């Protein structure tokens, strides 16, 4: 008979806050294993006594049957001093040593809890905060690791006897579920109103009634407050836009279920999996044409016809499902804040907004404190793969594994669409999305979250990395942090960081051709880059080619005023001639038909044109730019499609929509056909230059990145063409191709710099 031994087993990954210890205990009971399990720091630790073979089988069963939200990154085991155990128990958690810690992101309500919540005979019927081992808030309520109830904001709610019995019963699915609650002991819904209140209605019934009346309400979810309105009510949408100071940008729409989404959008199998995943992201779906919806009521489609894509998502907590069941249709659900400001998470701030915004009818809240505000994530499917557009709720702060990483790095991230990153060994913890770093409020939240994540994951950076732009807030923050902590600082060029983010995600060995197209980035030569062909390897970058620089009208408003980009390109092509001369390392486009078609002169006031033309002639208040994003703006303006960005990327989005119309109905519109022709030129330019670079260098790996590659037409056509020519194309998946992925790229370059210095 085989000799029994005691083994010490440690598991790293998403193994806290997902019912992992109760699952291990149940697996041990089923297999007859004796020992103990505990959360220690950010990992799970076990001691078990049995034969080596039975222990191996036990570990394999854990790996194979783990709870759905759990992820096991690494398992280590070693023989320990022999111990006799009478049973298998869950031991009290410990703080642990300095291992990399991992906690799950917030998890949407699971099917079992949703079923219980809708069961009139269940004691949690209509309980807004129903949850179990595998669902409920995690990151937004945790104070410290390990993930135990006492280390979260649930400490404010003492369990009732019934919940306590479930919590301590190994056979119950809420065994050691840290967010366990019910009508008697959990958080309760409450309200603060602007106007009369019907005392006979429950809080959520009142919310649904107000929405049916066409009012805007505020509603607290896991990561902060939302503003909610009926998308089919013109007055409700108008009031919401007034409150948000958001005139044109489409709102995301929450639906009750997949069937309801399919009434309005096309949904693929991959998209359905995303929509129903525990992260519950907003998924950009191609909408059905309005002609397909004519038989549906109401007739006013409002927010559902603003773009060819609808940002669709499903509820993530019981309270939202209850409200939508009572309302009976889709709802606009957007963050409660002014555009560009952080999402509101605290009651005092929400009530202050309620006082100054009478268009918000009522605020519905609860007493469960949100420790950190987290906005909804945004994802799309590209090339049959999910791709992050905004990485936040449901994903942050789950780390990404970067091969060969060591030490601890603080990557400050970009100025726009900011996320920062902290690394510990090979793990990169990319923060939630913060947006643009132009406001005091966003900067304050950013700094608070840096300290929060440092403490949560016990990270003390030994290096700081930032963008090269001298005027970015993130650059000054990094410089100050490095000086105060006596740390070295590394400055990384913006488009290099874009390419490096792809290299980090895919562990690309050897050199790669980086095609980095976006709106703006501070170049090594002092000009504004944005249409770049780079050769990257390790921490090094060489600029091989770029969009020809033209003199662009500068100033704070130039990124919004697409017409200025249009005039700048018209001026440049008139100066150089339509057959614009390019150097060996430059690329340019044939804009002759677009310029001949241009409607700009008919839309501008005389004084606007005169001032702009004088600036371009004299070079006053102008900048040299190779930006692909500004070229998209200019083409959209010249074609009369959009001459002003009321939200970031509007002109480029509308230009893509025009090209999509031309693909569907060729010849219907000259402007649309020219928009499509421009898209074709962009793809041809990428292919031609990659072929030239491969001939020169022998490199056939290509990283496509930057905000321009959020354009679905260009991205998918480029991928198809590159693969047909035997290139190996890569692109961002777990972080965004826009500036939201910059921090990961910065961290990767710093890791590689350390590795190279150590090798030398």
Please tell me the predicted confidence (pLDDT) of residue 50. 95
What is the residue-averaged pLDDT of the chain? Answer: 91
Of the two residues 272 and 302, the one the predictor is more confident about is 272
Mean per-residue pLDDT, 533-550: 96
At residue 6, the pLDDT reads: 96
Please report the pLDDT score of residue 292 as a whole number.
64
Of 43, 2, 49, the residue nearest 28 (C-alpha): 49
Q: Where in the chain is the domain with CATH 3.30.420.360?
A: 394-504+742-759
Confidence check: pLDDT of 297 > 60: no
pLDDT surpasses 60 at 295: no
235-291 pLDDT tens trace: 999 999 999 998 889 999 999 999 999 999 999 999 999 999 999 999 999 998 766
**CA–CA distances in Å: residue 759 to residues 274, 542, 753, 756:** 42, 21, 10, 5
DSSP single-letter state for residue 336: S
Q: What is the mean pLDDT of residues 492-514?
A: 96
Q: Which pLDDT belongs to residue 667?
A: 87
Read off the pLDDT of residues 304-331 as tens digits, 9 standing for 90 and up: 666 789 999 999 999 999 999 999 999 9
Q: What local confidence, expressed as pLDDT, does residue 307 receive?
A: 77
Q: pLDDT-based confidence at 93, cuts 50/70/90? A: confident
Q: Band of the pLDDT at 40, cuts 50, 70, 90?
A: confident
What's the mean pLDDT in 89-113?
A: 82
Over residues 689-716, the mean pLDDT reads 97
What is the reported pLDDT for 103? Answer: 79
What superfamily in CATH does domain 189-366 come from? Answer: DHBP synthase (3.90.870.10)
pLDDT at 556 (0 to 100)? 57
**To the nearest whole percent, how much of the chain has pLDDT over 70?**
95
Domain spanning 510-734, CATH class: alpha beta
Average pLDDT value for residue range 686-695: 98
Question: Is the per-residue pLDDT at 332 higher than 60?
Answer: yes
Examine the pLDDT at 299 and tell me if it is beyond 60.
Answer: no
Question: Alpha helices, DSSP H only, in 76-133?
Answer: 111-117
- E strands, 526-635, where? 528-537, 540-547, 550-553, 586-587, 622-625
Averaged pLDDT, 565-581: 81
Distance CA 652, CA 738 (A): 14
Q: Would the pLDDT of 706 be above 70?
A: yes
Q: pLDDT category, 43, cuts 50, 70, 90? A: confident
For residue 357, what are the contacts with CB-CB under 8 A and spacing of at least 6? 243
Query: pLDDT-derived band of residue 182, with 50, 70 and 90 as boundaries?
Result: very high
Q: For the chain, where do the domains classified as CATH 3.90.870.50 start and end?
A: 1-186
Mean pLDDT confidence for 81-93: 91
Q: Is the pLDDT of residue 111 over 70?
A: yes
| pLDDT surpassing 80 at residue 606 | no
Ramachandran area for residue 435 (φ above 0: left; ψ -120 to 50: alpha; else beta): left
Judged against a pLDDT cut of 80, whether residue 195 lies above it is answered with no
Residues 6+ apart with CB under 8 A from 623: 527, 528, 551, 552, 554
CATH 3.30.420.40 residue ranges for the chain: 510-734
Measured between alpha carbons, how far is 708 from 495 in angstroms, rounded to an integer? Answer: 12
**Is omega for the bond preceding 298 within 30 degrees of 0, making it cis?**
yes
Name the CATH architecture for the domain at 394-504+742-759.
2-Layer Sandwich (3.30)
| CATH class of segment(s) 1-186 | alpha beta
Sign of CA dihedral 291, 296, 300, 304: negative
Ranges for all domains in the chain classified under CATH 3.90.870.10: 189-366
């Amino acid at each position: 008979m085989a000799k029994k031994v005691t083994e010490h087993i440690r598991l790293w990954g998403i193994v806290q806050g997902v019912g992992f210890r109760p699952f291990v205990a149940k697996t041990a009971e089923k297999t007859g294993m004796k020992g103990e399990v505990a959360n220690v720091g950010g990992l799970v630790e076990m001691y078990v006594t049995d034969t080596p073979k039975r222990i191996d089988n036990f570990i394999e069963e854990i790996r194979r049957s783990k709870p759905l939200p759990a992820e096991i990154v690494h398992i280590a085991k070693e023989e320990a001093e022999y111990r006799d155990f009478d049973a298998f128990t869950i031991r009290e958690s410990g703080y642990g040593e300095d291992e990399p810690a991992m906690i799950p992101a917030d998890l949407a309500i699971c099917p079992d809890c949703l079923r219980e919540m809708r069961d009139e005979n269940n004691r949690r019927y209509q309980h807004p905060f129903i949850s179990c081992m595998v669902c409920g808030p995690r990151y937004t309520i945790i104070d410290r690791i390990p993930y135990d109830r006492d280390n979260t904001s649930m400490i404010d709610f003492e369990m009732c006897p019934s919940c306590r019995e479930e919590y301590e019963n190994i056979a119950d699915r809420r065994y050691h579920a840290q967010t366990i609650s019910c009508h008697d002991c959990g958080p309760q819904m409450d309200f603060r109103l602007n106007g009369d209140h019907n005392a006979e209605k429950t809080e959520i019934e009142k919310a649904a009634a107000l929405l049916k009346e066409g009012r805007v309400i505020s509603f607290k979810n896991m990561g902060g407050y939302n503003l909610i309105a009926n998308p089919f009510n013109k007055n409700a949408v108008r009031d919401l836009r007034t409150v948000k100071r958001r005139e044109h940008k489409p709102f995301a729409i929450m639906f009750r279920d997949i069937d309801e989404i399919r009434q309005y959008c096309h949904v693929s199998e991959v998209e359905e999996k995303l929509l129903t995943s525990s992260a519950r992201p907003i998924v950009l779906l191609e909408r059905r044409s309005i002609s397909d919806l004519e038989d549906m009521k109401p007739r006013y489609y409002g927010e559902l016809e603003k773009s060819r894509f609808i940002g669709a998502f499903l509820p993530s907590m019981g309270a939202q499902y209850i409200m939508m069941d009572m309302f009976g249709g889709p709802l606009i659900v957007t963050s409660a804040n002014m555009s560009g400001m952080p999402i509101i998470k605290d009651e005092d701030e929400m009530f202050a907004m309620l006082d100054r915004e009478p268009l918000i009818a009522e605020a519905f809240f609860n007493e469960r404190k949100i420790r950190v505000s987290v906005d909804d994530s945004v994802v799309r499917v590209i090339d049959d793969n999910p791709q992050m557009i905004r990485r936040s709720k449901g994903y942050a702060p789950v780390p990404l594994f970067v091969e060969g990483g060591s030490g601890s790095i603080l990557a400050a991230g970009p100025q726009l669409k900011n996320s920062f990153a902290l690394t510990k060994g090979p793990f990169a913890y990319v923060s939630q999305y913060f947006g643009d770093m132009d406001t005091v409020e966003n900067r304050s939240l950013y700094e608070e979250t840096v300290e929060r994540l440092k403490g949560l994951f016990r990270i003390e950076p030994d290096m700081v990395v930032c963008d090269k732009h001298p005027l970015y807030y993130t650059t000054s923050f990094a410089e100050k942090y490095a000086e105060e902590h006596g740390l070295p600082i590394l400055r990384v060029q913006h488009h290099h960081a874009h390419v490096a983010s792809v290299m980090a995600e895919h562990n690309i060995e050897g050199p790669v051709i980086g095609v980095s197209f976006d709106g703006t980035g501070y170049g090594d030569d002092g000009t504004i880059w944005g249409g770049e062909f780079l050769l990257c390897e390790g921490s090094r970058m060489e600029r091989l080619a770029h969009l020809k620089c033209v003199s662009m009208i500068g100033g704070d408003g130039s990124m919004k005023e697409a017409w200025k980009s249009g005039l700048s390109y018209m001026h440049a092509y008139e100066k150089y001639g339509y057959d614009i001369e390019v150097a060996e390392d430059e690329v340019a486009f044939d804009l002759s038909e677009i310029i001949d078609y241009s409607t700009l002169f008919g839309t501008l006031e005389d004084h606007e044109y005169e001032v702009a033309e004088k600036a371009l002639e004299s070079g006053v208040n102008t900048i040299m730019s190779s930006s692909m994003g500004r070229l998209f703006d200019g083409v959209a303006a010249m074609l009369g499609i959009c001459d002003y960005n009321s939200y970031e990327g509007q002109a480029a989005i509308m230009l893509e929509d025009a090209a999509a119309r031309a693909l569907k109905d060729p010849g219907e519109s000259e402007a649309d056909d020219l928009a499509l022709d421009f898209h074709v030129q962009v793809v041809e330019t990428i292919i031609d230059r990659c072929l030239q670079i491969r001939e020169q260098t022998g490199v056939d790996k290509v990283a496509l990145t930057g905000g321009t590659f959020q354009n679905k037409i260009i991205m998918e056509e480029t991928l198809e063409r590159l693969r047909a020519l035997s290139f190996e194309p890569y692109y961002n998946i777990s972080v965004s191709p826009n500036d939201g992925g910059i921090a990961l790229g910065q961290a990767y370059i710093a890791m590689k710099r350390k590795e190279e210095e150590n090798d030398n």
